[in-house]
Chain A
Amino acid sequence: MNQVASQTVQVEVDTLLLRAHSYAAFIALLIAVTFGIVISLQLIFPEFSADWLPGWGRMRYAHTQGIMLGWLGNAFLAFMYHAVPVLSGRSVTSRTLGLWLFGVWNFAVMIPGWILVLSGISQPLEWAEFPMLVDAFVIGALVLAACQFLPPFVRRGVTNLYVSSWYLIGGLVFTLLSYPMGNFAPEFIPGAAGAAFSGLWIHDAVGLFVTPLALAILYYVIPASTGRPIFSHLLSMLGFWGLFFLYPLNGTHHYIFSVIPMEAQMTAILASFLLGIVVIIVVTNLMLSQRGAGLIPKDIGLRFVSMAVIFYLIVSIQGSLQANMSLNQAVHFTDWVIGHSHLAMLGFATFAAIGGILHAWQRMPQARYNAKAFEWAYWLLVVGISVMVIDLTLAGIVQGQLWQSGAPWIESLQASRPYWIVRSISAIPVAAGFIALLVGMLTGERGAGAAAVAANQVPSGTEPLVADANNSDDSSGLTMSYRVACAAGIVFFVLSVSLLGLLPKQVLEQQTLAMAPGNPLPYTAAEARGRDVYAREGCGYCHSQQIRYTAADIARFGAPTLAWEGRLEYPHMLGTRRIGPDLSRAGGTRTDDWHYAHLYDPRAVVPASIMPGYGELFDGGVTSPKRDAQDLVAYLDSLGRARELAYPEGDAAARAASTDNRWAQMSFDAPLLNAHPARTQVRGGAPALEANGDTALGLSLWQNNCTGCHGDRAQGDGVAAKWLEPQPKNLAIRQYTRGMLADILWNGVHGSAMPAWRDLSTVARSALASTVQSFSRLEPETPNPILSALGANVYAAHCAECHGDDGAGDGFAAAHLPIAPTDFRGVRTSRAERIRIMQNGIAGTSMAPWTDRLSSGEITAVAHYIDEFFDNTSAGIAP
C-alpha cells in the first residue's frame, strides 16, 4: 500500500493490484499483438501455417478480445487503483475484492476466453467473440469493478466531482449496462434486428467502455503532469455529457445501407456528425490544458497522453466522416475501417492507457523505472502505429475504388498486397515498442520514476481562471443539475437501446411478417451444423452476409438482403469486413467438389486466393471430407436458397406488401432477382467478344484465375483437376469458336466447377478468350465421307436425343440433364479424344461409355461425323 495524506483524508493506493493489473495488461497485449501479427502475415503468405497453429478466424477472435479486455481492461483497472483514491480522497473498497476482480478478469475471462475461441467455441460477433459463458464472467467482473471503485465516489458525493471521476463512474456503469446488450441480445434476436443490437455494442464498446476510461486518464494525467489545472472544467463536462448522450446513438452507423430501418440509420449518422463536434470541443480543451508542456513533453506519461489526444481527434473526425453515406458507400467493409479501429484501440486508447500506467508507475517508490526504454517505446509506437493506420487507410481507398468499379474481386486482393506487406512491417516497431515498455517496467533503478517526475515538472503557467479553489459557495444547484444529467444519461442510454435496437427490431419483425414467403425452408441438421463451423472458424470476418442497398453491391452480389432472409440467423452473420466476397447468395454458385477443393487448398482452384486452407476438415485429402466439411458445404449451398425459392410468388407478395418502403423496393428492382449475378447459367445471352483480345492481359487473367484447374499449359491438369468432376477440359486438344468462348465465359458451365466470369469486363473476357484459343494445338483432320455417313446414322439413333440433330446440344433430353450436352458447333476436339470419350464417358456428366452398345467401328464413325458440326465462322451457340 502506498499511503498518503491528501487533504484531511488518508489516501491508500493499492500498488500490489496496480502492479498486478499492469503486468497482466502488458502480457495480454503481447499475446494479442502476436495473434495480430500472425494473421496479418497470413494475408500475405496464406500458406504460412502449422498444424499446431489455430485457424485464421480463431486467432482474429483472440486478437480483438485480447486487445479490448486483456490489454485495455487490465490497463484501465490498473490506472483506477491509482486514480480513484486520489480523485475521491478515499481508498477503494478492499484488497480482497481486488484480488477477486483480478482473478476473475484474468483467470475466468481472459485465459478461458482465449482457450475457448482458439478451440472453436466462440461467438461470431465483432468485439463480442468470447462465448456467452465467458460473457457471464465478464459481467461478474464488471460488477466486482463497480463494487471496488464506485463506493469511494458514493461516499464522497458528487459535489465538486472532477471530470475524470465522472468518466470513470460513467465508464463502469454504462459498460455494465451495454455489455449484455451486444453479447447476449443477438443470440436471441435473429438477423438484422440482432445486428442492430450488435451495432450498438460495437460502438458502445468503444464509446462507453474504452473512450470514457481513456479520457479519464487524459484529464487526470495532463493536469497532474503539467502542474496546473485543466483549461476549462465547463468544456470538459460539456464533452462528458455530449459523449454519453451521443455515443449510444451512433451504433447503427456500422450498418449503413443495410436493411435496418433508414430512420435508425439517419439517427446514427446525425449523432455521428454531432459527436465529431463534441470531440473537437474535448480535444481543444485538452490541448489548451497542455500549454507550456511543448509538442513532445518531457514527462513520459504526459508524452503518451499528449499523443493520445492527437490520435483521438483524428480517429473521431474519421469516425464522423465514415458515417457520411457517400464515403461509407465506398470505404465500408474495407481496410479503411480496420485502420480506423487500430487508430482507436492501438492509437488513442493504448497511448492513453500507457500514459496512465506510466504516470502511476512513476509514483510507486519501489517500482523499477527505465526511462530510456520508455523513450524508445514512445518513438517506436508513434512511428509503427502512424505507418500502420496511414497504410490501412490508403488500402481501404484502393479497395473501395476497385469494388465500386466492378473489377473482379481478386484484383482488390492483389492491389491490397503491397499495403498488407507494409502493415505487417509496421507491426515490427509496434511490437518492439510494447516490449520496450515491459522492459522499462522490469529494469532500471527502483523509484527512478519519482526523480523523472521531479525533473520533468512543467513550471506553473498563468493564473488559474478561478483563483480561489476553496471558495465555499453553495453549489447545491450545480450538484442537482449533475444529478439530473446523470439520470438523463441513463434515460439517453435507454432511449438509444429503444430507438436503435427495439424499434428497428419491431419494424424488421413487421417487415418479416409482411414479406416472408409462406413456409420458407429452415436449415437442415447438416446445414445448421455447417453454420456452426462457419461461425467458429470466423468466416464472417472476411465474408459478409448482407447485400447492401447500393448499386455496387447489387451489381456484384444481387438483390439487397431483405429482413426476412435473416429470420433464422441466431446470431446474425452480417459481418463488418469483406476480404473475400459476400456470401448471401453463395448457394448454387459453385459445385460441392469445387467447395471441397477450395476449402482444402484454396489456391488450387483460385490461384490468387489468400483464403487459409482448412485441411483439418478433411481426412488426409479432398476426397475424404470430414463431417464438418460436408456440413459447411451444405451450409454454403443453402445461402440464398430461401430467397431464390421465393421467386416469383413470394417476391410478388413481398413487393405488394412494401409499396411504401422505397428501400425494400430496391431489392425487387435488382437486375438479377434472387440469385447471385455470377451464378452459372445454362446458355445464351452472352455479349459478343472482340476479335483479337490483349494476349498479355489474357495470360495474366489466365494465370490468376484458370491455372488451378486447367493447369499452366491448359491441359486440364491443374492442381485441383483431380478433385473435380467433370474434370477441367484439356484446351490443347480442343478448338473453340469465339462465340462458344463468349458463352462459356459469360455463363460458365452450369453444373460443373467452371464458374461464370461475368464480373470480368468484355475487354478482359476477349483477352482471356484469345489466350484460350492460343492454347489449341489441334491440327485439321482429314475427313472420311464414308465413315461420316455411317456415323450420321449412329448419331441420329443414339446421340441426337441429347446433342440435337445438328449437334447444337439441344436434343429433346438436354433440358433434363444436370450439365448441358456439348454443342459441337462451337467446340471441336481431336478425333482421338472423341473416341476416348465415347469409350469411357465423362465422369460427373450424363455422358456414359458407349462400348456396350456401339462397336469400335461405329464409335470411330461417329467421331468422324461430329467433326462436320464445327463451324468456326458461326456463333456456335444454341439460342
Chain B
Amino acid sequence: MISAIIVWGSLLAALVFSVAYLLSPRLRAQVERPKFTFHQQVQDFDKNAAPVPKSKRGKR
C-alpha cells in the first residue's frame, strides 16, 4: 500500500511537473537552461584545452 502510494505519487509529481513545463514558457526556459550553459562550457573547454599537434593542423 505504502509502496503503491510512493510509486504512483512520484509519477503524479512527474506529470504535474511536465504539465507545468508545457504551460509555462518561463519554467521551460529555466529547466532547459543548464543544457545550454553546459554546451557553452564544453565548447569553451574544447577550444582552449587541446591544441592540435603540428602534423594535423592543416586538416582542420
Contacts and interface: CB of A to CB of B under 8 A. Distances in A.
Interface of A: 2, 4-7, 11, 13, 86-87, 89, 160-164, 220, 223-224, 227-230, 232-234, 236-238, 241-242, 245-246, 249, 263, 266-267, 270-271, 274, 362-365, 445-451, 453-455, 464-466, 468-469, 471, 473, 475, 477-478, 481, 492, 495, 499
Contact of B14 (A232, A241, A270, A364): A241
A450 B50 contact: yes
A162 B38 contact: yes
Given A4-B45, A450-B53, A162 B37 contact: yes
A429 to B, nearest CB: 30
Contact of B60 (A7, A86, A163, A451): A451
A292 to B, nearest CB: 15
Contacts, number: 159
Given A249-B7, A466-B32, A223 B53 contact: no
A469 B39 contact: yes
A270 B3 contact: yes
B3 A362 contact: no
Contacts of B32: 232-234, 465-466
A454 B60 contact: yes
B2 interface: yes
> Interface residues of A: mostly helix, strand, loop or mixed?
helix
Given A465-B32, A473-B30, A492 B6 contact: yes
> Interface residues of B: mostly helix, strand, loop or mixed?
helix
Given A266-B3, A465-B32, A469-B36, 8 more contacts: A6-B41, A234-B18, A234-B28, A363-B45, A447-B50, A447-B52, A471-B33, A499-B6
Contact of B45 (A86, A241, A267): A86
B7 A270 contact: yes
A7 B11 contact: no
Contact of A365 (B10, B29, B50): B50
A68 to B, nearest CB: 28
25 contacts: A4-B44, A4-B49, A161-B34, A220-B42, A223-B38, A223-B39, A228-B39, A232-B32, A233-B31, A233-B33, A238-B17, A267-B4, A267-B7, A270-B3, A270-B7, A271-B7, A363-B50, A365-B49, A445-B53, A445-B55, A447-B50, A449-B50, A466-B29, A477-B30, A481-B17
Given A160-B34, A223-B35, A499 B3 contact: yes
A11 B38 CA distance: 13
B41 to A, nearest CB: 5
Nearest to A230: B35
B10 A245 contact: yes
A13 B38 CA distance: 16
Nearest to A464: B36
B11 A237 contact: no
Contacts of B41: 6-7, 86-87, 89
B42 to A, nearest CB: 4
Contact of B42 (A86, A232, A271, A450): A86
B38 A364 contact: no
A629 B45 CA distance: 62
Contacts of B29: 466, 468, 471, 473
Nearest to B28: A466
7 closest Cβ pairs, A-B complex: A469-B36, A451-B56, A267-B3, A450-B50, A162-B38, A229-B35, A447-B53
Contacts of B7: 246, 249, 267, 270-271, 274
Interface of B: 2-4, 6-7, 10-11, 14, 17-18, 21, 26-46, 48-53, 55-56, 59-60
B44 A241 contact: no
Given A4-B48, A249-B7, A451 B42 contact: no
Contacts of A163: 34-35
Contacts of B28: 234, 465-466
B7 to A, nearest CB: 6
> Which of A4, A7, A89, A492 counts the most B-chain CB atoms under 10 A from its CB?
A4
Contacts of B51: 365, 447, 450
Contacts of B31: 233-234, 237, 478
Given A238-B17, A451-B52, A6 B35 contact: no
Nearest to B36: A469
A499 B3 CA distance: 7
Contact of B11 (A263, A274, A481): A274
Contacts of B33: 160, 233, 466, 469, 471, 475
A220 B39 CA distance: 9
Contact of A246 (B10, B27, B42): B10
Given A160-B37, A447-B53, A499-B2, A475 B46 contact: no
Contacts of A365: 49-51, 53
Nearest to B34: A162
A236 B35 CA distance: 10
Contacts of A471: 29, 33
A876 to B, nearest CB: 60
A274 B4 CA distance: 11
Contacts of B11: 274
Given A5-B48, A448-B56, A475 B42 contact: no
A263 B2 CA distance: 10
B18 to A, nearest CB: 7
B14 to A, nearest CB: 5
Nearest to B42: A224
Contacts of B50: 362-365, 447, 449-450, 453
Nearest to A163: B34
A450 B52 contact: yes
Nearest to B6: A495
Contact of B39 (A7, A229, A238, A473): A229
A270 B18 contact: no
A4 B2 CA distance: 50
Nearest to A9: B41
Contacts of A241: 10, 14
A447 B2 CA distance: 56
